[in-house]
Amino acid sequence: MDLESANQRYYQLQIKADCPLKCSYCPGLGLVSKQERLHNDIVNSLRKAQSGNYSAVLIPCNALDSQDLPLIIETIHRFSLIPIVQINSRQLQTPLKILDQILDMKVGVQLILGNNATLTDAILTKLNERATQFHATIVAHKRMHAIEAFRALPDWLKKKTFFYFPYPFEKSDEFFSPKSIYDFLKRFKTQFPTYKVHPTPGVDIFDRRISVNADLEPIIQPFFEIRTPIQKVKLFSVIITTRNSKETLTETLQSLLTQTMDKADFEVILIDDGSSQDNLISTLNFVRQQTAQWNFKFVQIPQFDELSKNRLPTRTALARNLGVKLSNGEYLLFLNENSIVESDLLTNTLKEHEHWDLVQMRRFVLPIDSQKNDISVAQQAAEPENMFWSHFYKKSENWNHMQDGWRYISFNNLSLRR
pTM of the model: 0.51
Phi, psi dihedrals of residue 104, rounded to the nearest 5°? -70, -15
Question: SS3 of 90, please?
Answer: helix
CB 290 within 8 A of CB 268: no
Within 8 A by CB and 6+ apart from 193, the residues are none
Of 176, 204, 232, the residue that ends a domain is 204
Domain holding 308, by residue range, is 220-417
Provide the mean pLDDT of the chain. Answer: 73
Residue 317: CATH number of its domain: 3.90.550.10
Identify the band that residue 304 occupies on the pLDDT scale cut at 50, 70 and 90: low
Question: SS3 of 348, please?
Answer: helix
Asked if residue 214 is part of any domain, the answer here is no
Residue 37: CATH number of its domain: 3.20.20
Q: What is the pLDDT of residue 84?
A: 92
Q: Are residues 403 and 280 part of one domain?
A: yes
Q: Are residues 248 and 199 part of one domain?
A: no
Residue 139 buriedness (CB in 10 A; 0-12 / 13-18 / 19+): buried
Range 315-319, long-range pairs (CB < 8 A, 24+ positions)? 315/207, 315/210, 315/216, 315/273, 315/274, 316/241, 316/273, 318/207, 318/216, 318/217, 319/241, 319/271, 319/273
Tell me which residue of 70, 62, 61 sits closest to 36, measured CA to CA. Answer: 62
CB 323 within 8 A of CB 411: no
Identify the band that residue 210 occupies on the pLDDT scale cut at 50, 70 and 90: very low
Query: How far apart are the two ends of the chain, measured CA to CA in Å?
Result: 24
Asked if residue 213 is part of any domain, the answer here is no
pLDDT average, residue stretch 225-252: 77
Q: Are residues 286 and 164 part of one domain?
A: no
Tens digits of per-residue pLDDT, 76-127?
999 888 899 999 888 887 777 889 999 999 999 999 887 666 788 899 999 9
Of 179, 204, 229, the residue that ends a domain is 204
Q: What percent of the chain has pLDDT over 90?
A: 13
Asked if residue 1 is part of any domain, the answer here is no
Q: What is the largest CA-CA distance in the chain?
A: 80
Q: What is the pLDDT of residue 126?
A: 93
pLDDT average, residue stretch 155-166: 85
Q: What is the DSSP string of 276-321?
A: -HHHHHHHHHHHHH--S--EEEEEEE-SB-TTT-PBPPP-HHHHHH
Q: Are residues 225 and 123 part of one domain?
A: no
Question: SS3 of 84, please?
Answer: strand
Question: SS3 of 347, please?
Answer: helix
CB 264 within 8 A of CB 328: no
Strands 9-12 and 56-59: parallel
Asked if residue 212 is part of any domain, the answer here is no
Tens digits of per-residue pLDDT, 241-273?
888 888 888 888 888 988 999 888 999 998 888
Within 8 A by CB and 6+ apart from 73, the residues are 59, 83, 85, 102, 105, 107
Q: Are residues 26 and 59 part of one domain?
A: yes
Q: What is the pLDDT of residue 307?
A: 45
Q: Are residues 196 and 231 part of one domain?
A: no
Q: Are residues 328 and 184 part of one domain?
A: no
Higher pLDDT, 37 or 388: 37
* Cβ neighbours of 293 (radius 10 Å): 13
Asked if residue 18 is part of any domain, the answer here is yes
In whole angstroms, what is the distance from residue 404 CA to residue 242 CA?
31
Q: What is the CA radius of gyration of the chain?
A: 25
Asked if residue 211 is part of any domain, the answer here is no
Instruction: Tell me how many domains the chain contains.
Output: 2
Of 155, 178, 204, the residue that ends a domain is 204
Q: Are residues 378 and 294 part of one domain?
A: yes
Higher pLDDT, 100 or 32: 100
pLDDT at 333 over 80: yes
Q: Are residues 179 and 87 part of one domain?
A: yes
Q: Are residues 245 and 157 part of one domain?
A: no
Q: Are residues 180 and 254 part of one domain?
A: no
Higher pLDDT, 194 or 377: 194
Q: Are residues 376 and 245 part of one domain?
A: yes
